[in-house]
Structure 1
């Protein structure tokens, strides 16, 4: 039985057929310091639902002619994915036409300077989302308070308000919802806020000694705050959790740190999980829908002065891993995926059957126990959220700039 591939059956239409040739293994030519772009494009090309959205031309019915760029970016992105999935594995394609459109949308990518892959991902998702946003005319943001509602209902109403303005296949895949709560130590009043997020930026804690044993944090932070009810200036307990888990969870390992005028790169090894990453302990309520499997990694090797981006991707067809180094694509073992070069981790929400399985002792024992466990890192970012912003796409500016959002004021 041959593997599945996409073949051109008529102009701009693709059908799924059987073939002995494994598709999706086409490289991207480096146009000059564009490895950051190639790495992200390969990760997104192996995002199954996004790939199908482009290859099956589902995006055509969502094209928003009111968009600032008049759908040029989404169209070129879809064409590029179609080339990647219909070209021969020993070929490479040029992303030059796509680059023209992304630098029209985000002028910071004009030219051939080295760029940050995470920033590129955010601008790209922001641009794709805006061009297939199902909302043609955004309503004014509501100022009505929802504090009188129970948390679950407040969460649903906040999510409804968000989707009244931002509703696309892109946001369907990548956007989740974060919950933050603030409890006053004087009067006991607890206020909650809910905010959307597109990815999670995880600070990498610096090791303080060999063999240090780390314990899961309590996901709470004591801060000096003024209570909005009793107006007392006191210490309040701030807690963070995830209210709604996205289908595609992108974890950004913050390897670049700034100290005074010098930027350095952290090469700390993060022993992240490849399968069954269970995040239910970070859920804001009882949840059986928070088990993820890794399918792509964007890697950065080198220093802040100069480096190179590659991608490790798991084929949505064959489930085999390959290394994408610009135009060169080679098979690889899953045992080589973890490295100190890992920069962006792409996880897909597991199927309902896999998500409903309880996490038993045997499964927990199989979790990696590296020097820095991903669970600790995710807990760390939930605790220190007040200081490290969750970064989400914001389209208020003309150029689609990305703004760092902190917690909504309580």
Structure 2
């Protein structure tokens, strides 16, 4: 809902990243000096009882000197209002006032004056022509506007013309005067965070934030699209995104922040930064109404909400995730980032749909996949699940038997050659046909073979492909393979897949490891807002250029395109 940006008047250029002497942003808490001056709400128009109770609750908390609690309450309520569906009326709010208000919601003790929309008013009490959204004003739905108006008073009210009404006015004008041209359309309302407005100004200047109306986007993209019903496990998420192919503008983008590491949490921080780079995962997780006992889901939702309240290039502790994973991952021990990544995703998935039990046989890969997706209609499987098919050749009956397994990742052995180690070579080694010298019973003729030819391929490609390199070995001795591994920004896995699948991917994030098996350090790299960043616990650094130079890759995340 909120993001950092610098106010640049009359500029159509896309915001760039901060111009500083170093790409690495330090994280120092801003001193809080001034107190909030909150005028009492004076009802000027009808309010619903819930809003009235909420305003009174915020006032009571401030009267009891519980400032932080009151801000948290106000932040959560205005967020709820801004995300309301099916609210057609929209209102303009002065940009500067919105910046000040958002800083207040972030916990900065800022004096908030009455709303002043005088600079927005044009003829007939409508918005002045030539003004730009997210430069001169921001957009609120009716309930959000009513709340801030009742809390802080001022004005005047500036109602925006709904697109359907504007179109009818244009059509009427054109019919009455064939020579007239339709008026220029104002900038469409696109969620602020999807416009890469995460900007930090040069030192000693103010960092500002902007409110946006994320739920208004879908109505502007396609007014004929009706919102699809979704249960607690995002049941229709796959159908909406795969079958309807509706235009999508992600609501899941969040500020770019660092994660604190008091001791041995770099494995967890790097994995979380990879997950935070997937906007659809953020959006899907936050859309779920948690049930009692879903502690892993709740912990990730708490982390995401905490991040949304932060300014870009700040840092927080992933406290909620630390606590829920403490039974599996001890805080005083070195841990594996890939293991944590799959464990955490698996626990959330298990809380949503339970464990998948496949005790039946299928006649085809399509049938097996249909069974799996019908029983696992959750956001985790929608994003990460694919399917692997293995073919075993029986020497007794000369038949091929197939087995089907859902997969979340590919764990590749490191295949060295005289030219070095390359991702494609590792994939070719993983999917090559091989002879397995082990007893195997044919499903068709029921005879036992002492050895069998086996070949594997991907029969369903995931939306996001996780690839892990087996750098750590424990047999015959414990060691780490430190060799550099080359990987491409764009990857096509067609030769390892069934025909007719979408097989092209682009690199989205990765985890690297420095050091040895018993001690080292994890870092993450991820693409956010069309730029690449290095995440080294609390420190976030922008990488110049798309080509990554760190070849100590341990986990790669590729996104289908």
Inter-CA distance 324–156: structure 2 relative to 1 (3 Å threshold) = same
1:98 aligns with 2:350: no
> Whole-Å Cα distance in 1 between the matches of residues 534 and 420 of structure 2?
32
Structure 2 gap ranges (5+):
1-11, 17-74, 84-190, 200-253
1:113–1:144 distance in 2 versus 1, CA, 3 Å: closer
Q: Determine the C-alpha separation between the residues in 1 that align with 2:305 and 2:255.
A: 9
The Cα of 1:32 is off from its aligned counterpart by 1.2
Query: Structure 1 residues 195, 212: CA separation in 2 closer, same or farther (over 3 Å shift)?
Result: closer
Offset at 1:233?
3.4
1:236 is aligned to: 452
Corresponding residue number in structure 2 for 1:156: 366
**Judging changes above 3 Å, is the alpha-carbon distance between structure 1 residues 90 and 183 closer, same or farther for their aligned structure 2 residues?**
closer
Matched, 1:286 2:499: yes
Q: Is the 8 A contact 2:264 2:331 kept in 1?
A: no
Q: Which residue of 1 aligns with 2:276?
A: 45
Task: Please state how far the C-alpha of 1:51 moved relative to its aligned partner.
Answer: 1.9
2-structure distance, mates of 1:212, 1:322: 25
Q: For 1:108, what is the secondary structure of its paired residue?
A: coil
CA contact (8 A) 1:176 1:246 kept: yes
In the TM superposition, residue 8 of structure 1 has moved relative to its aligned partner by 7.0
**CA spacing shift, 1:108–1:226, aligned 2, 3 Å:** closer
Contact 1:26/1:85 (CA < 8 Å) preserved in 2?
no
In 2, Cα distance between equivalents of 1:98 and 1:226: 43
Aligned equivalents of 2:559, 2:358: Cα separation in 1? 32
Taking the aligned partners of 1:161 and 1:288, their CA distance within structure 2 comes to: 19
Note the 1:337-352 alignment, pairs <5 A.
337-350=548-561
Partner-residue secondary structure (3-state), 1:267:
coil
**1:25/1:85 contact within 8 Å kept:** no
Structure 1 contact 280–287 (Cα < 8 Å) conserved: no
Match of 1:35 among 266, 273, 284: 266
Find the counterpart in structure 1 of residue 287 from structure 2: 58
* Deviations 1:51-110 (CA, angstroms, capped at 9, x unpaired): 2224xx3122xx344xxxx1222122122123334422231111122211222xxx1213
Which residue of 2 is the match for residue 10 of structure 1? Answer: 78
Judged with a 3 Å threshold, the aligned counterparts in structure 2 of structure 1 residues 14 and 52 are, in CA distance, closer, same or farther, namely farther
Higher relative contact order (CA 8 A, sep 6+): 1
**Aligned equivalent of 1:82, options 296, 299, 305:** 305
How large is the Cα RMSD of the aligned pairs?
A: 2.9
Q: Measure how far apart 1:344 and its partner are.
A: 0.5
Pairwise CA distance, 1:293:
0.7
Greater mean alpha carbon deviation, residues 154-163 or residues 265-274 = 154-163
Q: Deviations over 1:293-333 (max 9, x none)?
A: 11101111111121111110100xx2100011111101003
* Whole-Å separation in 2 of the counterparts to 1:112 and 1:232: 49
Q: Which residue of 2 aligns with 1:329?
A: 540
Residues 13 and 98 (structure 1 numbering): CA distance in 2 closer, same or farther, change over 3 Å? farther
Alpha carbons 1:185, 1:234 under 8 Å: kept:
no
| Bigger proportion of residues as helix | 2
Matched, 1:125 2:345: yes
For residues 102-121 of structure 1, what are the structure 2 equivalents within 5 Å?
102-103=325-326, 107-121=327-341
Taking the aligned partners of 1:21 and 1:72, their CA distance within structure 2 comes to 31
Q: TM-score, normalised by structure 2?
A: 0.52
1:269-301, Cα deviation, whole Å (9 max, x unpaired) = 2211112x1111111x21240111111011111
Indicate conservation of the 8 Å contact 2:414/2:421, yes or no: no
1:210/1:126 Cα in 2 relative to 1: closer, same or farther (>3 Å)? closer
SS in 1 for 2:280: helix
Q: For 1:212 and 1:44, locate their aligned partners in 2 and report how far apart those are by CA, in whole Å.
A: 26
Contact 1:182–1:190 (CA under 8 A) maintained in structure 2 = yes
Aligned to 2:34: none
Against the structure 1 CA distance between its residues 330 and 155, is the aligned structure 2 distance closer, same or farther, given a 3 Å change threshold?
same
Counterpart in the other structure of 1:354 = none
User: What's 1:26 paired with?
Assistant: 257
Q: Is the 8 A contact 1:269 1:340 kept in 2?
A: yes
Question: CA separation of 1:90/1:48 partners in 2, compared to 1, >3 Å: closer, same or farther?
Answer: closer
> Which residue is 1:407 aligned to?
none
Structure with the greater alpha carbon radius of gyration:
2
Separation in 2, partners of 1:51, 1:253? 26
What SS is found at the alignment partner of 2:365?
helix
Between the two proteins, the alignment pairs up a number of residues equal to 321
Contact kept, 8 Å, 2:391 with 2:400, in 1: the verdict is: yes
Q: Does residue 308 of structure 1 match 2:521? A: yes
What is the distance in 2 between the residues matched to 1:73 and 1:212? Answer: 37
Q: Which residue of 2 aligns with 1:273?
A: 488
The Cα shift of 1:11 comes to: 4.3
- Aligned equivalents of 1:3, 1:50: Cα separation in 2: 25
- Specify the SS of the correspondent of 2:328: helix
TM-score (structure 1 length as normaliser): 0.70
